[in-house]
Amino acid sequence: MPARLIRGTEIREQILEEISAEVAQIKRIYGIVPGLVTILVGKNPASISYVTMKVKTANRLGFREIQDNLPESVSQEDLLAHIQKYNQEDSIHGILVQLPLPHHIDEKKVINAIDPDKDVDGFHPINMGRLMIGGSEIKFPPCTPAGIREMIIRAGVETNGAEVVVVGRSTIVGKPIAIMMLQKERGGNATVTVVHTGTKDLASHCRRADILIVAAGVPGLVKPDWIKPGACVVDVGVNKVGEMISEKTGKKVAILKGDVDFDAAKEVAGWITPVPGGVGPMTITMLMKNTLNALKFKMGII
């Protein structure tokens, strides 16, 4: 039987409706809405597209949204000054600096300059530390891993005692999702293995997985015979493998492929996320949730 699809596009709508209802309620009771600033440096087309989607989603939810576009030539000092200003602004609850930044700017310095209580991307070392400790220490889980876990929970996949294999050890996906899956809490309590470029026999580890989370950035890396029959396969990879003309707009669009050979894998897996339309839509959704939570933490209602 072909796998059940876990569609991020559907789960996103459920979560955005929940956030929207909470925003309306907080506004009615306290007269305040979540405030999010997105700082974009330069004109990288992919970054512009991400920021545009973030702004659109924030506006749809009734957030106060500020888009701060800075030129490619902005100095590190000026960028840090902008962050300081937003750190001190009461009506701003979340600060997002779109990555990557131009080469003359030290990304680490920029991330570290964000007030950890406004770091809705969850990349500040304090929030990474909170994630490691787990439980009530966690404030802002990084958005893509948080989205992955939410998809697994909402699809009804059992994580308690499950064998989870994560392919990839990046700081934004692989490492945090591995930590989240092993915490003794809802959507966790799994036995986790992380595999990477230094792993001797990738396939043998993947074959043990009840839940296989793949974030390698290598199109079609995971073959169907690496998948345990009935397993849940979460494909985080988004790889541009070509271009085509969109029937809808007549414009050139990227052809995207995941890290899993989807057509063959769906015949073996029990659940699978498509690319596009799987994990992708969840990242911005969880950013919105983190921004709402930033306001709730500040007000002491969480």
188 binds ligand NAD (CB under 6 A): no
CB of 239 vs ligand NAD, minimal distance in Å: 5
Residue 213 in the binding site for ligand NAD (CB under 6 A):
no
User: With respect to ligand NAD, which residue has the nearer C-beta, 74 or 286?
Assistant: 286
Q: Is 128 in the site for ligand NAD (CB under 6 A)?
A: no
- In one-letter notation, the amino acid at residue 124 is H
98 is catalytic: yes
170 near ligand NAD, judged by CB under 6 A: yes
- 122 interacts with ligand NAD by CB under 6 A: no
Set 117, 119, 121, 235: catalytic member: 121
Counting contacts by CB under 6 A, is residue 193 touching ligand NAD?
no
Question: Can residue 96 be called a binding residue for ligand NAD (CB under 6 A)?
Answer: no
Does residue 169 belong to the site contacting ligand NAD (CB under 6 A)? yes
Note if 109 is an active site residue: no
Tell me which residues in 252-281 interact with ligand NAD (CB under 6 A).
279-280
Q: Which of 21, 71, 196, 255 binds ligand NAD (CB under 6 A)?
A: 196
**Nearest to ligand NAD of 186, 196 (CB atom):** 196
Alpha-carbon gap, residue 163 to 181, rounded angstroms: 10
120 binds ligand NAD per the rule CB under 6 A: no
Asked if 215 touches ligand NAD (CB under 6 A), the answer is: yes
The catalytic residue positions are: 54, 98, 121
What is the binding site for ligand NAD (CB under 6 A)?
Answer: 144, 167-170, 172-174, 196-197, 202, 215-218, 221, 236-239, 279-280, 283
